[in-house]
Amino acid sequence: MGKLREPLRELAECGLPAALEAMGERWSFLILRASFNGLHHFEEFQSELGIARNILASRLAKLVEHGILGRHPMPEDRRKVEYRLTDKGFALLPAMLALRQWGERWETGIPSSPVLVDDRDRKPIRPIEVLAHDGRVLTKNDLMWVLPEDVARDAEAAE
């Protein structure tokens, strides 16, 4: 990726700041992970994560506000509220996995548990990687940043 012509001083618009606005706080990803793992209730998050109640309340509210979690009061026990991932929240799975996988590979060294598998054959998913249009795995020197207007048009049939 040294292939960049000029340093591209203008980082310009990018979804990253927006994503960080929703997910940037320290506990947000951990709450999300807990959601992915099937936890739904305030007390479950609290005791699993050991987070302070006021912080948890405020993070849950923020995640709900951003449409990442849905807040569903339970009709059969009106003390209870279920927090469940929305589609938008679910769409954070690749980001969460990529981060987790990085931590596993470069920080802890120990394989995470539980593991996400394809339920067809129960084999673990592939590591999250950067792939080319045609599926090749791309590494450092295969990559290049360009402005959208310089992107090769997709000639559908082309080869």
- Print burial letters for 39-53: b (CB count within 10 Å at least 16), e (below 16): bbebeebbeebebee
- Asked if 99 interacts with a copy of itself (CB under 8 A), we say yes
Contact of 120 with 126, CB cutoff 8 Å: no
Q: How far is the CB of 76 from a copy of itself (least distance, A)?
A: 18
CA distance 18 to 113: 30
Q: Which stretch binds DNA (CB under 7 A): 2-10, 56-64, 108-116, 144-152?
A: 56-64
- Asked if 81 interacts with DNA (CB under 7 A), we say yes
Question: Burial level of 86, CB count in 10 A (0-12/13-18/19+)?
Answer: middle
- Asked if 55 interacts with DNA (CB under 7 A), we say yes
- Asked if 137 interacts with a copy of itself (CB under 8 A), we say no
CA distance 93 to 69: 13
- Nearer to a copy of itself by Cβ, of 74 and 146: the residue is 146
Six-digit token pair at 135? 């599926």
Residue 70 interface partner, choices DNA, a copy of itself, none, CB cut-off 5-8 Å depending on type = none
Q: Which stretch binds DNA (CB under 7 A): 2-10, 49-57, 101-109, 119-127?
A: 49-57
CA distance 39 to 7: 44
Would you tell me which residues interact with DNA (CB under 7 A)?
25-27, 41-44, 50-55, 57-58, 60-61, 71, 76-82
